[in-house]
Structure 1
Amino acid sequence: MKKIILGFAAMLFCVQFSQAQLLPSLKLGIKGALNFSSLKSDGKWLNSDTKTGYQIGVWGRVGAAGFHVQPELYYSQKKAGFKDEDGENGEAVLKSMDLPILLGTKIGLGPLGVRIQAGPVFSFAQDGKVDFKSATDIDNYKKSSTGIIGGIGADIRNFTVDLRYEHGLSNISQNSDRSQKVSMWSVGIGYAFL
């Protein structure tokens, strides 16, 4: 009889735990990040150094059964130092609204957990320009671009910490002979209100 009661209690616990994992969850919050970006070019016409920029925005997360979707919207300022084929040094500043849509999973219980996430990111240039701080005037940049982003993160109660890598998939220059793509690492923190 004791074994039957313990078995029944264990079965109820498992059912309750599995139902809790299947229920949808929702989180909304804010985030900020430092990013370390560079411009990658085809050929040797542009050498880029990594510079520090920032991101600030909002995020949401909807999940069930151990998986989640996390859309974000943030203002991003990406910087890259460069030297062009003429030896001209300068700094590129890319200002955009970025929309990543991350798919992921969380490993852990309760308020503590580690996340693995990846997905596409869509960038929309603030003014359709890339500002170059040098004597060289380089313009004709596309107003939108796409990339892929992935990384790891941790949740500690309402706080989040993320380490991500973003790789540009599309050429941000309208000049097909001088293809440029953004490559970026970011370290961010966030806070969930819900």
Structure 2
Amino acid sequence: MKKILLGLAALFLCIQASQAQLLPSLKLGVKGALNFSSLRADGKWLNSDTKTGFQAGIWGRVGAAGFHVQPELYYTQKKAGYESDEGNGEATFKSLDLPILLGTKIGIGPVGFRIQAGPVFSFAQDGKVTFGSALDKESYKKSSTGLIGGIGADISKFTVDLRYEHGLNKLSTEGGDRGSQRISMWSIGVGYAFL
């Protein structure tokens, strides 16, 4: 009798979990992250060291049937140490980033693990790139596109994410090796869902 009752309880929980995944859900929250970025170029013009920057912004998640769409909007500061023919220094890129992630969540109740990927659109703030103390406004594009993907976990209203972002288009308007610059970045972030 005990085995039958335990079996019925397990079946009931599985049905409840599957029905919960079929219902649409909505979450809104805030997030912050540390990022570790580097700047790459073809040829020997640029060798980049990884430097630490940050992200801060908002996110939303709409999902049903185990899948979700998660748009985000955050301010990002990406830094990269560089070594070039002209000398060494640090480049700083400030942008407003808009990733649109598609993903799935595995878990029951308040604990779940996520896999997400999608495009990210970056819009430079004031069109400025800082190299040391000098500003370079003319040599860099005002927007760029990349791909972002990663894993995450939800624990009640808190979220944790580990992501990798790879720039798809060239950042510089110049030709040759200088024009082939792309940013790649790892980030680890935490968030809180207030809805």
Q: Same fold (TM over 0.5)?
A: yes
> SS where residue 21 of structure 1 aligns?
helix
| Structure 1 stretches lacking a partner, 5+ long | 1-5
Letter in 1 for 2:56: I
CA drift at 1:19: 2.7
Give the whole-Å Cα distance in 1 for the aligned partners of 2:123 and 2:164: 18
Is 1:106 matched up with 2:105?
yes
Count of matched residue positions in the alignment of Structure 1 and Structure 2: 190
Residue equivalent to 2:191: 190
Give the whole-Å Cα distance in 1 for the aligned partners of 2:158 and 2:91: 32
Is 1:51 matched up with 2:54?
no
Give the whole-Å Cα distance in 2 for the aligned partners of 1:81 and 1:115: 32
Give per-residue Cα distances to partners, 1:43-96, cap 9 Å, x unaligned: 11011111000000000000100000000000000000101123x011100000
Residue equivalent to 1:85: 85
Is 1:38–1:51's contact at 8 Å kept on the other side of the alignment?
yes
Letter in 2 for 1:187: I
Give the whole-Å Cα distance in 1 for the aligned partners of 2:82 and 2:163: 23
CA drift at 1:20: 2.0
Is 1:89–1:134's contact at 8 Å kept on the other side of the alignment?
no
Is 2:30–2:59's contact at 8 Å kept on the other side of the alignment?
yes
Give the whole-Å Cα distance in 1 for the aligned partners of 2:123 and 2:134: 26
Give the whole-Å Cα distance in 1 for the aligned partners of 2:68 and 2:107: 14
CA drift at 1:115: 0.5
Is 1:57–1:72's contact at 8 Å kept on the other side of the alignment?
yes
Residue equivalent to 1:123: 122
Q: Work out the percentage of aligned pairs sharing the same amino acid.
A: 76
CA drift at 1:18: 3.2
| Structure 2 stretches lacking a partner, 5+ long | 1-5
CA drift at 1:176: 3.0
> SS where residue 36 of structure 2 aligns?
strand
> SS where residue 108 of structure 1 aligns?
strand
Residue equivalent to 2:174: 175
Deviates more, 1:128-137 or 1:10-19: 10-19
Is 1:124–1:143's contact at 8 Å kept on the other side of the alignment?
yes
Give the whole-Å Cα distance in 2 for the aligned partners of 1:103 and 1:28: 16
Is 1:91–1:134's contact at 8 Å kept on the other side of the alignment?
no
CA drift at 1:21: 1.5
* 4+ runs deviating over 3 angstroms: 6-18, 134-139
CA drift at 1:24: 0.4
Is 2:61–2:70's contact at 8 Å kept on the other side of the alignment?
yes
1:109–1:140 Cα change, 3 Å: same
1:11–1:48 Cα change, 3 Å: closer
